[in-house]
Amino acid sequence: MKRIIRIGIIGQSERRGEQIPRYVLDIAYEVGYLIAKEGWLLFSGGRNGVMEAASKGAHDGGGTTVGILPSLDVFEANEYVDIPITTGLGMGLRSELMIQTVDAVVMIGGKNGTLKELSAAYLNSKPIVIVNRTGDFANSIPSILYEGKYLDSRKNVEIMFADTPQDVIAILKNVLKNL
């Protein structure tokens, strides 16, 4: 069996009245595009916002995208999801399922749901890369880290930071080189 690296993208969705800044969506798009160019699978929650931008990037890069959806409605997926997986698990358990499935996680911006996914990735010792200056929790996590690297004193996995989409890929290549 050929081992395909699976990268989870976590970040904010757009709800009524909320708009994600264009530069954040552009970063998500570029990360998705570069993931596809590496031949990796892109996993996300499959909906709008950061997830859709990253999925579009992967799609445009010739990659494959998987959306782990909270409902049983396949049409909840954004148009760039190649493989929609309906779970009927709701937002929380769907996030857990995605985190369990991927080899590493990239956080772009994010609100409370993204923070939950970050915590799940940390508890499961998944490599985590946070893209700097993408807003909300991505901006505030550095100020709460234990010893500047960990979410708590258990030191499950070091939280890594990237300034550009290219940095994200370089970090992932380094931490996943043995897969």
In this structure, how many other beta carbons lie within 10 angstroms of the beta carbon of residue 173? 12
In this structure, how many other beta carbons lie within 10 angstroms of the beta carbon of residue 169? 21
Q: Please give the share of the chain, as a percent, with pLDDT higher than 90.
A: 87
pLDDT, averaged across the chain: 94
Sorted by sequence, the CB contacts under 8 Å of residue 173 that are 6+ apart come out as: 38
**Amino acid found at 89:** L
Torsion from C-alpha of 108, 111, 116, 117, nearest 10 degrees: -20
**Amino acid found at 11:** G
State the pTM of this model: 0.96
Write out pLDDT tens, residues 30-82. Answer: 999 999 999 999 999 999 999 999 999 999 999 999 999 999 999 999 999 99
| pLDDT of amino acid 91 | 75
Q: Which of 2-6, 15-19, 25-29 has the lowest mean pLDDT?
A: 15-19
pLDDT at 17 over 80: no
Tokens coding 30: 């570029």
Interval 160-165 mean pLDDT: 98
| pLDDT of amino acid 32 | 98
The residues spanned by each domain of the chain are 6-12+20-172
Tokens coding 69: 């959806």
Is the CATH number of domain 6-12+20-172 3.20.20.70? no
